[in-house]
Chains A and B, each alone.
Chain A
Amino acid sequence: MLEFLEFDFMRKAIVALVVLSLGMAPVGCFLVLRRLSLAGEAMSHAAIPGIAVAYSIAGLSVLSMTLGGLIAGLSVALLSTVLARVTLLREDANMATLYLLALAGGIFLLSVRGTAVNLESFLFGNILGLRASTLILIGATTTVTLLVMALILRPLILQTVDPVFARSQSKHTWLISAVFMVLVVLNLIAGFRALGTLMAVGLMIVPATAARYWVDAVTPMLGLAFCFGAGSGLLGLALSYWLSNVPSGPSIVLVCGAVFVVSLLFGRNGLNVLARRA
């Protein structure tokens, strides 16, 4: 049953998922805590046209696709913030519109151009076909994420719990927000090859949400989110291997979903069914 561990592509996939979860856990936790869960979703779709354009210019180069995705994702986030400031409509309406346009444009571009990229593996991930360059991208992203998160953790917490107080203590809160958004997009792009553009945000948001049901402090929440993410990743990977027709992205996110349901039912900040009955 565990004979799949002998395959080289399986070991790559396992390493990719564990390392990916390590970076996605803290980023996902703060996305949830900052009430940006849906913005994360929007940004993952917004990155698609950037990747598509980069692919049509430079082919399957990890660096250019990352750069393209980063530029597209951040432009949509930036543009919706700016539009909310100068017009009447709020940020969410602008962001939803922009990311839908970006998503449509991205799929359009890929369909017109792409015969080499399989649309399904683009949308839902192909974790069993990871190249070495993708592994390096994931490793580099996680390293950068953990270092930067360690540096900005205190201002990030302060800004999330009490934004006006944070601004009264530091002139650079906008910079902290901007750096955090860059980390979000970077991690999403790192997750794209493994989980697909539709599902990558799942490994970020769902474990973080599930962890919040159990704990009431930031550090344990980050740790628990990582355990949930990596655990679901490995189990979902095994599922997608055993049932050979299921793409890896949905199967991993479904396992995350099972963890979420259990946390919702039994976690002390959730419905807490056991304690209520007692």
Chain B
Amino acid sequence: MLQAKDLAVGYGAETVARALTFDVQAGEILAVIGHNGSGKSTLVKTILGIESPQAGALTWTGGTPPQPIGYLGQLTDFDRRFPMRVCDLVETGGWSKLGFFDAAGAGARLRAGEAIARVGLNDIATLPLHKLSAGQLQRALFARTMVQDAQVIILDEPFAAVDQNTEADLMDHVLGWVAEGRSVIMVLHNLSTVLHHCARTLLLGRGTGRFGPSRAVLNAGALVEMGYLAADQARWLTGSLSSVTGGGVTGDGVTGDGGADA
């Protein structure tokens, strides 16, 4: 779906991460992890086309970026006080397919309604955004992503502000997208989520990145070396993660058990 070769990303003159080589296939999740400032969000913005690659190549299957690219970003720039109901927000997922003069129409409302039902927000579909909890807002944004109906979906820390129950629910939707053959790129912090659900991982840090099967990339030595963990944290984690890698992650990566959290 997407292939990066010797990619360098950054803002303006400043390079944040260089020599990134990775690819994402249809029907798989690529996990992106890394310490603060390692370039996760910059990489996401580059894939979205908001920033330009500073060097190297980003190649899409079919030549051009797919339209639209599904995107669920961090909520730092999101304006929760905007006068909008949940159903209005979900409907905006379909707007990129509308021309300047098209009306949204009944079909768009229907698709939004279905997505709202699937994320379990039927009861509060007409509530304004400022009345939602963080978990409810994240569910609404997942519904918007469904309405986008994109072949490539990028999720930037989608579970940052939600509780365990919500995370499990939302992860099921992600697995559903993958089963439908869509590609998902996910910025994550929870290593056990990565090991459970993501076949391959791009670990960013120290100005560059490592890419490969999640089990191979996420070993204690690499995590320390890439600045993601301190040495003593890594020793503690090695024990708890080995129980996950022993049972949870198989060769093709995606398993359904979703249980044994570190």
A residues lining the B interface (CB < 8 Å): 33, 151, 154, 157-158, 160-165, 167-171, 212, 215-218, 221
Q: CA A169 – CA B154 in complex, angstroms?
A: 12
Question: Please, which residue of chain A has its CB at the minimum distance from the CB of B84?
Answer: A161
Checking A162, A163, A170, A218 against B96 with a beta-carbon cut-off of 8 angstroms, the contacting residue is: A170
Contacts of B50 in A (CB 8 A): 164, 167-168
Contact at A164–B84, with CB atoms within 8 Å? no
- Known contacts A169-B95, A169-B96; A163/B77 CB under 8 A: yes
- Please give me the residue from chain A that is nearest to B95 by CB atom: A154
- Interface size, B (range): 20 to 34
Establish whether residues B68 and A169, one from each chain, have CB atoms under 8 Å apart when the complex forms: yes
Q: How far is the CA of A171 from the CA of B82 in the complex (A)?
A: 23
Judged by a CB distance under 8 angstroms, whether B106 is at the interface is no
Q: Are A217 and B83 in contact (CB under 8 A)?
A: yes
A162 to B78, alpha carbons, bound, how many Å?
Answer: 5
- Return the contact of B82 from the options A161, A167, A169, A215 (Cβ within 8 A): A161
Complex CA distance for A31 and B54, rounded to whole angstroms: 35
A87 to nearest B CB, angstroms? 14
Whether B88 pairs with A165 at a CB distance below 8 angstroms is no
Q: With the chains together, A169 CA to B96 CA distance in Å?
A: 6
Query: Would you give the shortest CB distance from B74 to chain A, in whole angstroms?
Result: 8
Distance in angstroms between the alpha carbons of A45 and B96 in the assembled complex: 37
Distance in Å: Cβ of A29 to nearest Cβ of chain B: 9
- CB pair B69–A168 under 8 Å, yes or no, is yes
Within 8 A of A (CB), among B230-256: none
Given contacts A33-B82, A33-B83, A218-B84, contact A164 B95 (CB under 8 A): no
Instruction: Flag if A154 contacts B82 (CB, 8 Å).
Output: no
CB of B26, distance to nearest CB on chain A (Å): 20
Question: For residue A211, which residue of chain B has the nearest CB?
Answer: B83
Task: For the complex, give the distance between the alpha carbons of A157 and B104 in Å.
Answer: 14
Jot down 17 A-B pairs with beta carbons below 8 A, ordered by A: A33-B79, A157-B82, A157-B92, A158-B92, A160-B79, A161-B89, A161-B92, A162-B79, A162-B92, A164-B45, A168-B73, A169-B69, A169-B96, A216-B130, A217-B83, A218-B83, A218-B88
How many whole Å from B144's CB to the nearest CB in chain A? 8
Give the distance in Å from the alpha carbon of A133 to the alpha carbon of B50 in the complex: 44
* Residues of chain B contacted by A151 (CB below 8 angstroms): 100-101
Question: Is A161 touching B79 in the complex (CB atoms < 8 A)?
Answer: yes
Complex-state Cα separation, A33 to B50, whole angstroms: 24
The complex places the Cα of A104 from the Cα of B95 at a distance, in Å, of 45
B229 at the interface (CB under 8 A from A): no
Q: Chain B 84-114, CB within 8 Å of chain A: the 1/0 string?
A: 1100110010011010110000000000000
CA distance A158 to B82 in the complex (A): 10
- Tell me whether A167 and B48 are in contact (CB under 8 A): yes
Say whether B259 faces chain A, with CB atoms less than 8 Å apart: no
B residues 134-186 touching A (CB-CB < 8 Å): 154
Nearest-Cβ distance from residue A42 to partner chain B, whole angstroms = 21
Known contacts A154-B92, A162-B92, A169-B69; 8 further A-B pairs (Cβ under 8 A):
A33-B83, A161-B79, A164-B45, A164-B50, A165-B73, A168-B154, A169-B96, A221-B83
Residues of A within 8 A of B129 (CB): 161
Cβ of B98 and Cβ of A164 under 8 Å apart?
no
List of B residues within 8 angstroms of A215 by Cβ: 83
Let me know if B71 is at the binding interface, CB within 8 A.
yes
B37 at the interface (CB under 8 A from A): no
User: Residues of A contacting B69 with CB < 8 Å?
Assistant: 168-169
Residues in A whose Cβ lies below 8 Å from that of B74: 164
Complex Cα gap A230–B68 (Å) = 41
**A residues in contact with B130, CB < 8 Å:** 216
Q: Is B120 an interface residue (CB 8 A)?
A: no
Q: Which residue of A lies closest to B70 (CB)?
A: A168
- Which residues of chain B have C-beta atoms less than 8 A from A169's C-beta? 68-69, 71, 95-96
Shortest C-beta distance, B13 to chain A (Å), equals 12
Residues of A within 8 A of B73 (CB): 162, 164-165, 168
Asked if B27 CB lies within 8 Å of chain A CBs, one says no
The winner among B50, B74, B98, B101 for most chain A CB atoms within 10 A is: B50
Shortest CB–CB separation between residue B101 and chain A, in angstroms? Answer: 8
Top 8 nearest A-B pairs (CB, nearest first) are: A216-B128, A161-B82, A168-B71, A169-B96, A168-B48, A164-B73, A167-B50, A216-B83
Q: How far is the CA of A170 from the CA of B45 in the complex (A)?
A: 13
Complex Cα spacing A33 to B77, Å: 14
**Is B258's beta carbon under 8 Å from chain A?**
no
State in angstroms the CA–CA spacing of A264 and B72 once bound together: 35
The answer to whether B49 and A216 have CB atoms under 8 Å apart is no
**Cα of A169 to Cα of B88 in the assembled complex, Å:** 17
Q: Could you say which residues of chain B place their CB within 8 Å of the CB of A221?
A: 83
* A224, B92: Cα distance in complex, Å: 23
User: Closest CB-CB distance, A32 to chain B, in whole Å?
Assistant: 10
A269 CB to nearest B CB, Å:
8
With CB as the reference atom, state the residue of chain B lying closest to A220.
B83
